[in-house]
Chains A and B, each alone.
Chain A
């Protein structure tokens, strides 16, 4: 088990050849099992389906669940994009993208609109994705009931009965204590009116994009060995109270320092001079705005 930088070493050691590796890294049996699991997950939106997560050349927690889904889906005709918190250029994103491309011959891209498969950690792209694309989200903790029920078996029973009373109670206590539901990244959602689901640690900004989208969303948790899905045109509603409605993050009077956008999710970092710097989290969108390219960002 090696870190993300270990993938770099692996690629360097193997050179361009990747000899001895099977297409898409995983063996045919592993791919078949993941494919069976994905189809079940799509047929039962929001339900976590167990699978036999394989050892990957990256440490668990670095996106092994998402990577296994990507490798089970990808063909030589695909164009792949990998983003880490919106950024294609992070070491982790670059290494995952190269691993996928080197073992499959799939084309690589940094541009949201060009990709057929996008693997992502913690963001849904600003650019509206189409029916011809699939978004694969990396999931650290797939169980949305984890903080109200630590027993896996009990949580499964609660999902089975659609008994989410304790989830609602926890949200209510949060509202009483803090005046709002404080869940930031990974705000819990109800899928198809049946299963409460962890949308992975995406910001609230991205939650409405899951509802009635054109695109298929697949979620992979490698360490916890779960795959789940939100098909296109599926109802996905954040858990909220009538008097405390769900709200996305607001960036009042702020714009991206790089491209000037006022309609994207911004990340703010402290600067040496004591000030702060805010830029688009989604680097592909930032590039588009900077270049004057108009992309559809209404989901």
Chain B
């Protein structure tokens, strides 16, 4: 039974609407590891960093810290300006954005939290060439997955996933990965996921 609601409800601003839709894509992706979801459209001028910036804007404000590890560091300035989040060193940052070339280093260095406060760990956003196609294949199981979930990734080295398996071996401490590609796709590898690498 549907109920008629007033048409005068407050409207969400364009930015807030995008953040809300980005969050729901992230929530679906984090709840169902390895499944692929669509982010809301990025600004055309953000180019290859567009999807990553959609995610960072959804999650960051001046209450959290971030770091960027990438060859092209122009995105660092954009995050500072748009979110007000504070820049920090890689090992201490709450949110880290990396290109695929720096993924291994970031996964090895980022904060894993503490046994009593495992949530105080880094969320690592990695920009890869493509999600859903590619030669690297992660086979996932665990919470959020009925049997197994296979995820193909283009542009990420297998060594990054092997490092992730090692970093997350002492669950519940560990790091959570958000993969984005320039086509606006997102998939997550939360620390609870068991990962096997095929390449």
Interface residues of A, Cβ cutoff 8 Å to B:
16-19, 21-24, 28-29, 31-33, 35-45, 47, 49-50, 72-76, 79, 101-111, 114, 131, 134, 156-157, 159-161, 192, 194-195, 212, 216, 231-235, 287
Contacts and interface: CB of A to CB of B under 8 A. Distances in A.
Nearest to B94: A36
A47 B21 CA distance: 25
**What is the predominant secondary structure among interface residues of chain A facing chain B?**
mixed
Contact of A103 (B10, B17, B118): B10
Given A28-B16, A36-B64, A39-B123, A234 B5 contact: no
Interface stretch (B27-35, B97-105, B151-159): B27-35
Contact of B21 (A16, A75, A109, A110): A75
B2 A18 contact: no
B164 to A, nearest CB: 13
A101 B11 CA distance: 12
Contact of B27 (A18, A73, A159, A287): A73
Interface string B1-20: 11101111111110011011
Given A29-B63, A32-B19, A45 B12 contact: no
A16 B30 contact: no
A265 B27 CA distance: 31
A101 B58 contact: no
A216 B8 contact: no
A244 B119 CA distance: 35
A101 B5 contact: yes
Contact of B59 (A32, A43, A232): A32
Contact of B172 (A21, A22, A28, A47): A47
Contacts of B24: 73, 75
Interface residues of B, number: 46
Contacts of A131: 32
A34 B192 CA distance: 20
Contacts of B144: 42, 231-234
Contacts of A159: 116
B192 A44 contact: yes
Nearest to A76: B12
Nearest to B23: A35
Contacts, number: 157
A106 B172 contact: no
**What is the predominant secondary structure among interface residues of chain B facing chain A?**
loop
25 contacts: A23-B9, A23-B11, A32-B58, A32-B59, A32-B63, A33-B63, A43-B190, A43-B191, A45-B192, A73-B24, A73-B27, A76-B17, A101-B5, A103-B9, A103-B10, A104-B9, A105-B6, A105-B7, A105-B9, A107-B3, A108-B2, A108-B5, A161-B115, A192-B142, A212-B146
Contacts of B146: 212, 233
B176 interface: yes
A111 B1 contact: yes
Contacts of A42: 27, 30-31, 144, 190
Most buried by A among B7, B146, B172: B172
B8 A17 contact: yes
A29 B60 CA distance: 9
B145 A233 contact: yes
A13 B172 CA distance: 47
Contact of A160 (B7, B31, B115, B191): B115
Nearest to B171: A194
In the complex, the 6 A-B pairs of residues with the closest C-beta atoms, listed nearest first: A105-B9, A43-B190, A23-B12, A108-B3, A16-B6, A234-B143
B183 to A, nearest CB: 22
Contacts of A102: 5-6, 9
B61 interface: yes
A162 B23 CA distance: 31
Contact of B143 (A21, A38, A192): A192
A88 B58 CA distance: 32
A29 B84 CA distance: 11
A274 B17 CA distance: 55
Contacts of B30: 39, 42-43
A37 to B, nearest CB: 8
B26 interface: yes
Contact of B9 (A43, A49, A101): A101
